[in-house]
């Protein structure tokens, strides 16, 4: 899978999580958080398994995973990913 596809998947998780946070509904945030956590972990594992993946992509995947895990607003920089 190309970096562009990973970037799109990371962006989708970011939007989904930020939207859930902005609603302020705890139940919704927990549900979305669990989904996003699983998706972010899967992406992180896939990216780390690719020997020639960029450091920027690996860092973005890890940063997103941590932000989701902490339940914080996501502001991961995806612009450096090629």
Domain enclosing residue 15, as ranges: 3-70
Residue 9 counted as domain residue: yes
> What total number of domains does the chain contain?
1
Residue 11 counted as domain residue: yes
Residue 78 counted as domain residue: no
DSSP state of 74: P
pLDDT digits (tens, 9 = 90+) for 56-78: 889 889 999 999 988 888 777 77
d(CA 2, CA 35): 23
Residue 77 counted as domain residue: no
pLDDT digits (tens, 9 = 90+) for 7-50: 899 999 999 999 999 988 889 889 999 999 999 999 999 999 98
Helix residue ranges per DSSP H, the chain = 3-23, 26-49, 55-70
Residue 75 counted as domain residue: no
> For position 31, what pLDDT does the model report?
93
Residue 80 counted as domain residue: no
Contact 76, 16 (CB under 8 A): no
d(CA 42, CA 81): 18
d(CA 40, CA 37): 5
Residue 45 counted as domain residue: yes
> How many Cβ atoms sit within 10 Å of the Cβ of residue 60?
26
């Amino acid at each position: 899978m190309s970096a562009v596809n990973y970037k799109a998947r990371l962006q989708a998780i970011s939007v989904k999580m930020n939207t859930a946070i902005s609603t302020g509904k705890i139940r919704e945030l927990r549900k979305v958080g669990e989904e996003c956590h699983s998706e972010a972990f899967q992406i992180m594992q896939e990216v780390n398994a690719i020997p020639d993946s960029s450091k920027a992509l690996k860092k973005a995947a890890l940063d997103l995973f941590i932000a989701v895990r902490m339940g914080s607003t996501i502001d991961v920089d995806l612009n450096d990913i090629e």
